[in-house]
Amino acid sequence: MNISYFINLYPAVTHTFIRREINGLESLGHEVQRLSCRSDTGLIDEDDLDERQVTTVFRETGKLDFMSSIFKYVCLHPARVFLASCFAAGYCIKRGVAPHRMAAYITQAVLVCINCRKHHAHHLRVHLGGNAAVIARLAHRMGGPPFSIAYHGPDEFDAACRWDIPGAVHESSFVTAISSDCKAKLCRWASPSDWDRIHVLRCSISEKFMQIAPFPSGNQHRICVLSRLEAAKGLPLLLNALSKLSSISELPHVDIVGEGSMRNQLASMIADLNLDGHVHLCGALSGIDVKRRISSASAVLLPSFREGLPVSLMEAMALGRPVIASWCDGIPELVRSGVDGWTFAPGDADGLANALEQYLQATEEELIEMGEAGHQQACKLHSPKVLAEQLSKILVSGRASSRAGSRYEHPADPSSAGEVCPCVSGD
């Protein structure tokens, strides 16, 4: 099949799982086109930089070519563009999307259609069920190919009304969820008649992370945290838990790998809690350097309040490192407390402190045994070859059928039954 991918931000440091999905399909003989509104300006990994060279980024298209292509398409297909514009107007009214944002979505949808036609695409696939899903729906109305959506959560579900999850699921050929927890949240919003078109398709791990790394001898108490420095990741909780342990245990050394808006706040907390000698903010690193950091640690930690299913934990477990993580959202599907790591309640600093104590009390042999169990679990659930074959079967199966033009009545929003509808105003 010829498949076009459209992602709002691609390639990106945090979207390497999409690159692996694309590479997996190409290894099976599919022809894949990459389309993106913009690319990450902070790319440092060589594979991401190579991917950037084969991605069409709309914002980097020359203005004259940009406007000329859109004008020609509108002139050639006025009825289809009008149909999509009517849908867009209704969407703005019902879902609270600002008209200027919807105008941008319409423009991108035209460009998606143009590029899909050049590629002779049989299918359009988008990741994340926000604005990219709206653009896919607009593009299909304009004559674009059938589409599918990969939902990750939790952000899409915080704005389920705004992004019209019931309509998006209904109109797509199929949708994928990265965990059973994610599928359940989609089922909550989608019509029961559409549930059989929701598939669990987990994110894959790079082949570079599929072999157990030698355990660091004599360096038992070194923890690696792989995370964006954002509020949802719960990093202040980790610092508070470490401060609780300072009087009763020898503190581990913690490397926090990643960047984000909370960097200055976290640096201040580290200083205020006298953790300067124990916690180090490492910034963003390449894939090779991330692997080195995990390999030099004896455990990997993630104290998130909300997650989909973190790739960082998959990679850590595949490399044979036990993990310490909150049991939010999809994490319990991967991490088995007491088997390949320790889990604690999200937001529970005492629970995290207790998990850290258990880690500090574990022998090197126990940590190695946990790491080996985690390796088997991660490789079983997140093999890139197996997941690529699974997606390929879904794509070519007769069950994938487009229904964007059919009559459709939205199921009543939960808000109409007295439940608060979690809509947000930003993208």
In sequence order, which residues have a C-beta less than 8 Å from that of residue 146 and are 6 or more positions away? Answer: 122, 123, 124, 140, 172, 173, 400, 401, 402, 404
Query: Over the chain, what is the mean pLDDT?
Result: 88
Nearest alpha-carbon partner for 169 in 123, 201, 136, 206:
136
> Residue 151 belongs to what H/E stretch?
strand 147-151
Can you read off the two tokens belonging to residue 129? Answer: 């069920």
**pLDDT value, residue 416:** 36
Kindly tell me the burial class for residue 151, based on how many C-beta atoms sit within 10 Å of its own C-beta (0-12, 13-18, 19 or more). buried
Written out in words, the top-level CATH class of the domain with range 207-381 is alpha beta
In sequence order, which residues have a C-beta less than 8 Å from that of residue 89 and are 6 or more positions away? Answer: 102
CATH 1.10.760.10 fits 2-204+385-417, yes or no: no
Which has more pLDDT, 119 or 412?
119
Can you read off the two tokens belonging to residue 115? Answer: 């590029």
Amino acid at position 51, single letter: E
Which has more pLDDT, 59 or 398?
59
pLDDT, tens digit, 9 for 90 and up, residues 112-121: 999 999 999 9
**pLDDT value, residue 308:** 84
**pLDDT value, residue 404:** 44
> Residue 33 belongs to what H/E stretch?
strand 31-38
pLDDT, tens digit, 9 for 90 and up, residues 15-58: 889 999 999 999 999 999 999 998 887 777 788 888 999 999 98
**Calculated CA dihedral for residues 317, 318, 319, 322, nearest 10 degrees:** 10
Question: Any idea where the domains of the chain sit in the sequence?
Answer: 2-204+385-417, 207-381
pLDDT tier for residue 421 given thresholds of 50, 70 and 90: very low
Is the confidence at residue 401, as pLDDT, over 70? no
Listed range (81-85, 114-118, 220-224) with the worst mean pLDDT: 220-224
**pLDDT value, residue 414:** 39
What does pTM read for this prediction? 0.84
pLDDT tier for residue 248 given thresholds of 50, 70 and 90: low
Q: Are 2-204+385-417 and 207-381 equal in CATH topology?
A: yes
**pLDDT value, residue 407:** 35
pLDDT tier for residue 300 given thresholds of 50, 70 and 90: very high
User: What is the rounded average pLDDT of the residues 86-94?
Assistant: 94
User: What is the rounded average pLDDT of the residues 261-265?
Assistant: 95
pLDDT tier for residue 247 given thresholds of 50, 70 and 90: low
Nearest alpha-carbon partner for 323 in 361, 371, 357:
371
CA distance 154 to 47: 27
CA distance 33 to 121: 8
- Tracing tokens 């599918």 back to the chain, one arrives at 148
Alpha carbons within 13 angstroms on the beta-carbon side of residue 70 total 17
